[in-house]
Amino acid sequence: MTKGFLADIAKYAPSHVLPAFVALVSLPILTHHFDPADYGRYILYLATLTVLGILSYAWTNSSTLRLLPQYEREGKLPQLINTYLLLSVLIPGLVALGFWLLIMQSELESDPFIEAALLTFLVNGMYFSWMTLLRARFKSGLYSIFTCWKSIVGTVIGLVMVVKWNYGIEAMFWGNTISTVIVFPFLLGSIFTRDTLVGMPVISRKVVVEMAAFGVPIAVVSLSTWALSLADRYLIEWLRGSDEVGLYSASYSITERTMNFVIAAFLMAEGPIAYKLWESEGIESSQKLRTSATRMYLIMGIPAGMGLCVLAKPLIELLTSEQYHEAWTIIPWIILGVFFLGVAHRYTAVFTLSKKTGINMYCVLAATALNIILNMILIPEYGYYAAAVATTISYIFMTALVVFISKRYMTWRFPTWTLARAGLCATAMAVPAYFIGHHLTDSVIVNVLSGVAVGVAVYGIALSVSGEVSSAEWKQVRQRIGLSS
């Protein structure tokens, strides 16, 4: 089980490593061309598109991923997939049309962001829905290829439009849209098989009802999670202004993209495996997967967070212009919050497997309410720094809730010793990484790269010495990254 899980993580990793790297590389270009107010406005539009995506297609994606093994076992797969494919076009199309008609009657009609953002939403709705079928079919290699193409080519097109042709920051939306449309024929060719072309494509009412029963609570959870992680941008805009949104978002982007690589890679690999195990082998195998996946998350997530903490200041200096540098102080708080979010995901999977998504919904809603209350109280006085602290407190609160409640439906062994050993190894790594990252030379980029390299080496050695990772596991890792046969 661990070997197969590692294999899928390795295949999904490029789909998160490369886009995160491209985003980090593009950040200094964007922050040098646009002031915090413009960058903050761009982030608010991205956040709004996320909400539209949650309401339009995220619920069908999550329900299809969960229901596919069941329909396959029952011999009804074409019914599910045909319905899903039609909904993936119909719902985003209707939502985009509705918003377009509303905008045409408002003062936003002349806003250059609107047209680009709505078109991005429409093509992304179809793209992410179709990509879900690749995940469900365990086509992790193709998933990574298409994701990397979309991210890299889209970012390059957007940056060329900004740097060479003097477009505004809305060019990043146009780049995203163009790269996605280019990949559509290849993506469709990968997902259309015999089981997607059986009979006349129709929408099955029964399938829609079952998808809604499972997916709507997931959508509410996703919407609440969005509010938990992104609503603070709107509150900062309202209470303090666009400048602080830009400062906050630049630091948050650096941290979240790095930490979410670890979280997302695990979720991508774990989800389809977990659902298949639950349907075919039952609770015992699912319990073992929970423990195994959590152990690997801790081994990767703890050093990633510790490394970001000790290199926070030089990283923000390297990746942003001077007017953004003051915001490095919120990075440790963001890291702590995102790490706890990753731990919470290990437990919320229990609700998804047992089809108790409504319980997860209430847990996230409670944490979101706490987050909004704390932000409303603290932001007027303390600004964007308070938003980082409030969000972290809310993530910790949500983690405590889901840990306590999920035990009613499944108990599994949390790898406590892994937590302790990974924490000690990461601390050993942090000391040399800090001094090298801050003081080695006068070059920030040399210091950061050297600090990361030394940190990775020290952490790897410490894991071996502590006995947390065996020689057999190191051999598996080397095989997955192509360093041994």
Q: pLDDT (tens digit, 9 = 90+) per residue, 209-229?
A: 888 887 787 777 777 777 777
Per-residue pLDDT at 365: 87
CB atoms under 10 Å from CB of 290, counted, come to 24
Q: How many structural domains does the chain have?
A: 2
Q: Which residue has the higher pLDDT, 105 or 38?
A: 38
Q: Are residues 460 and 356 in the same domain?
A: no
Q: Are residues 384 and 473 in the same domain?
A: no
Q: Are residues 399 and 428 in the same domain?
A: no
Write the Ramachandran bin of 200: left for phi over 0, alpha for psi from -120 to 50, otherwise beta.
Answer: beta
Per-residue pLDDT at 453: 94
CA dist., res. 159 & res. 167, Å (int): 9
Q: Are residues 351 and 441 in the same domain?
A: no
Q: Are residues 407 and 450 in the same domain?
A: no
Q: Are residues 94 and 224 in the same domain?
A: yes
Q: Are residues 388 and 241 in the same domain?
A: yes
CA dist., res. 246 & res. 196, Å (int): 44
Lowest average pLDDT, out of 29-33, 105-109, 367-371, goes to 105-109
Q: Are residues 363 and 435 in the same domain?
A: no
Q: Determine the average pLDDT of the residues in 109-115.
A: 70
CA dist., res. 49 & res. 53, Å (int): 6
CA dist., res. 428 & res. 477, Å (int): 22
- The token duo for 16 is 């998160």
Per-residue pLDDT at 11: 57
Percent of the chain with pLDDT over 90: 30
* pLDDT tens, residue by residue, 255-298: 877 776 666 655 555 655 666 666 666 677 777 878 888 888 89
Residue 55 confidence class, pLDDT cut points 50, 70, 90:
confident
Position 36 pLDDT exceeds 80: yes
Q: How far is CA 140 from each of CA 125, 268, 318, rounded to the nearest angstrom?
A: 20, 9, 33
Residue 458 confidence class, pLDDT cut points 50, 70, 90:
very high
CA dist., res. 254 & res. 316, Å (int): 8
Q: Determine the average pLDDT of the residues in 450-462.
A: 94
Q: Of 390, 414, 438, at which residue does a domain stop?
A: 414
Q: Of 414, 429, 454, at which residue does a domain stop?
A: 414
8 Å CB contact between 57 and 128: yes
Lowest average pLDDT, out of 8-12, 175-179, 311-315, 354-358, goes to 8-12
Q: Are residues 297 and 433 in the same domain?
A: no
* pLDDT tens, residue by residue, 76-88: 877 888 888 888 8
Per-residue pLDDT at 199: 56
- The set of residues, in sequence order, having a beta carbon less than 8 Å from that of 286 and lying 6+ positions away, is 274, 277, 278, 353, 410, 412
Q: Of 414, 436, 454, at which residue does a domain stop?
A: 414
Q: Are residues 321 and 448 in the same domain?
A: no
CA dist., res. 276 & res. 73, Å (int): 10
8 Å CB contact between 261 and 17: yes
* pLDDT tens, residue by residue, 185-197: 988 888 776 555 5
Longest pairwise C-alpha distance within the chain: 67
Q: Are residues 281 and 205 in the same domain?
A: yes
Mean pLDDT over each residue of the chain, to the nearest integer: 83
* pLDDT tens, residue by residue, 441-452: 999 999 999 999
- Domain residues for the domain of 433 are 421-485
Q: Are residues 409 and 452 in the same domain?
A: no
Per-residue pLDDT at 266: 57
Per-residue pLDDT at 16: 63
